[in-house]
Homo-oligomer: A and B are copies of this chain.
Amino acid sequence: MGAVKSKRMPRAVREQQMLDAAVRTFGQRGYMAASMDEIAELAGVSKPLVYLYLNSKEDLFTACIRREARALTEAVRAGVRPGLAADRQLWDGLGAFFTHTGRNPDAWSVLHLQARTHGERFAAEAAAMREEIVAFVTELIVVAAREAHRDPDLAEGEVAGLAVALVGAAESLATWANATPGVTARQAAATLMNFAWAGLGNLMEGRPWSAPVMSDELSASGAVDVVHGA
C-alpha cells in the first residue's frame, strides 16, 4: 500500500499532463475531431480520470485556453524590460511573442484558431486575453509618445487604433510564420518592426528599422531564432 501511494502523482501534476495532451490534440486535430480517448491515451491516464479531474470536453478545452492564454501573456511581459527605449521594448516584446508562438504552435492554434472557431463561450475566453495584450501594447505606445514628447498630439483614440492594428498584424504574422517553413521568430519580429516602426514608406526607400546587433542577450540566447513550421 505504501508503495502504491508513493507512486501516485499529485493531482496538480496529473492535470498539467492532461492539459499538455489536450493542447497538442486540440491544436493538431481541431476541437471537433479531437476525442477524449486519444487525449487520455496521450496523457497516459484513464478516460474516467480525465472526466473526474476536468469534468467535460468543454471544460477541458476552456482550461487549455486559459492556461495557454496566461502562458503567452506572461512570456510577452517577461520579454520586455521597462527601463529600455520604446522601440527596444517593442522589439523585445515581439521577439518574445513570436518565440512563444513558434515554440508552441499547438497552443497558438488553440488560442487563435480553435478558440474562435467553436462557439462563443470559447471565443470570449480568447477575447479576454487579447484585450490584455492590446492594453499592454497601448501602454507601450503611450510611453513611446511620452518619450518623444508627443503625448498632447497623439489622441487616445489613435493610440488605441495603433495598438489594435499592431496586435492584429502580430496575430496574422504568427499564424503565417507557423505555416511557412523556415521563417524564424526573429524574421517575423523584424518584419513587424519594419512594418510598424520604420514604416513601409521608409522600407521602400531603403531605410528599415535597425534590429539590435547580434551580441545582445536576446540574440545570444537564441530566443528569437526558433524556426517555425519545420
**What is the count of identical protomers in the complex?**
2
CB contact under 8 A between A195 and B119, given known A168-B168, A168-B173:
no
Q: Mark A151-193, 1 if CB is under 8 A from B, else 0.
A: 0011001101110111111111100110010010001100110
Contact of A171 among B120, B172, B195 (CB under 8 A): B172
Decide yes or no whether A75 CB sits under 8 A from chain B. no
Q: Are A176 and B191 in contact (CB under 8 A)?
A: no
Instruction: Report A102-158 residues with CB < 8 Å from chain B CB.
Output: 113, 116-120, 123, 141, 144-145, 147-148, 150, 153-154, 157-158
Please report the C-alpha to C-alpha distance between residue A31 and residue B131 in the assembled complex, in whole angstroms: 24
CB contact under 8 A between A30 and B120, given known A168-B170, A173-B168, A192-B165:
yes
Q: Which residues of B contact A198 (CB under 8 A)?
A: 199, 201-202
Measured between C-beta atoms, what is the minimum distance from A48 to chain B in Å? 29
| Interface residue stretch chosen among A64-72, A204-212, A219-227 | A204-212
Q: Are B117 and A119 in contact (CB under 8 A)?
A: yes
Q: Are A141 and B200 in contact (CB under 8 A)?
A: yes
Q: Which of A113, A119, A166, A168 is the most central at the interface, judged by chain B CB atoms within 10 Å of its CB? A: A168
Q: Are A200 and B204 in contact (CB under 8 A)?
A: no
Q: How large is the interface on A (under 10, 10 to 19, 20 to 34, 35 or more residues)?
A: 35 or more
Q: Which residues of B contact A148 (CB under 8 A)?
A: 204-206
Decide yes or no whether A194 CB sits under 8 A from chain B. yes
Decide yes or no whether A20 CB sits under 8 A from chain B. no
Q: Are B164 and A173 in contact (CB under 8 A)?
A: yes
Please report the C-alpha to C-alpha distance between residue A105 and residue B213 in the assembled complex, in whole angstroms: 45
Q: Which residues of B contact A123 (CB under 8 A)?
A: 113, 117
Q: Which of A116, A198, A204 is the most central at the interface, judged by chain B CB atoms within 10 Å of its CB? A: A204
| Interchain Cβ contacts under 8 Å between A and B, 6 examples | A87-B201, A117-B123, A148-B206, A154-B203, A157-B180, A158-B187
List 12 other contacts, CB 8 Å, given A118-B118, A150-B204. A30-B120, A116-B116, A144-B200, A160-B176, A161-B191, A165-B195, A165-B196, A168-B171, A196-B199, A198-B202, A199-B200, A201-B202
